[in-house]
Amino acid sequence: MWNLTKIKEVVGELICNNILFAHTVLGCDTTSKPYGVCKAKSLKLLPTNTTFQMMAAKFYEQDATIDVIKKAGEVAMILIYGGSTNEGIDTLRYKEFQRKISIATSFVNPQEIPPTSAALQFHSQRVYFQIQSWLGFSLDACDWGWVMKHDMLWPRLTNIEASPKDLLQIIKGGCKGVCDSQRCTCRKNGIPCSFACKNCKGTTCRNAEVDDILVEDDESVC
């Protein structure tokens, strides 16, 4: 049997007071997870970085606005990835991609670099929604990173395209089958199949766009 009093004494009051944020910001059952970043990172930052502590505190405020959570989530994620808070997450993402390209001997997986600001804002909203739910406060999920589709809640992934449409239109694959393996050029490069693909046309395979509802704003989703 766990002795919670003893555990609290060992980890300290600061960690205990912020454990919900430390857990959710790097992924739990109801929030997305930054690829390859374990929860130990947030647990190490909390006792040593006052800026990270201040950003975590924003997620416990009952009346926090979406803009406040967006900014706090971005600063916290920049610190998690070891970047400078004087620059945005998109700048850090670009620099990290450049760094990986310079030393890469093979394809650089996009999920290994920091998330885009568009994806991160919805992740941060879900983190806030989950923490507030655990604290006993009821919020509308559709206001905080979720969309309703077929009577089910789905995470809103982003509100921008993966890349400029002109670029997406010239990337195509010629694989046969259902595009569910790395043999599919599009899947291998981390993008959905499109109408330019020779066989599937981006509509009949397992690598097609999930649904525009997860990418574009739709006033009817909630």
Residues 116 and 181 in one domain: no
Residues 109 and 197 in one domain: no
| Domain-located, residue 222 | no
26-74 pLDDT tens trace: 999 889 889 889 999 999 999 999 999 999 999 999 999 999 999 999 9
Residues 173 and 128 in one domain: no
| Domain-located, residue 141 | yes
Residues 132 and 171 in one domain: no
Residues 181 and 110 in one domain: no
Residues 62 and 146 in one domain: yes
Residues 16 and 90 in one domain: yes
143-166 pLDDT tens trace: 999 999 999 999 999 998 767 776
Residues 150 and 169 in one domain: no
Domain count, the chain: 2
| Domain-located, residue 215 | no
115-144 pLDDT tens trace: 999 999 999 999 999 999 999 999 999 999
| Domain-located, residue 115 | yes
User: By residue range, what is the domain housing residue 20?
Assistant: 4-157
Residues 69 and 95 in one domain: yes
pLDDT at 168 over 70: no
Last residue of a domain, one of 136, 157, 178: 157
pLDDT of the residue at 66: 98
Select from 132, 129, 94, 131 the least CA-distant residue to 113: 94
Residues 51 and 83 in one domain: yes
CA distances from 32 to 23, 25, 29, 127, 145 (A): 11, 8, 8, 9, 10
Residues 103 and 133 in one domain: yes
Residues 41 and 91 in one domain: yes
| Domain-located, residue 28 | yes
pLDDT of the residue at 197: 76
| Domain-located, residue 221 | no
| Domain-located, residue 217 | no
| Domain-located, residue 143 | yes
| pTM recorded for the entire structure | 0.75
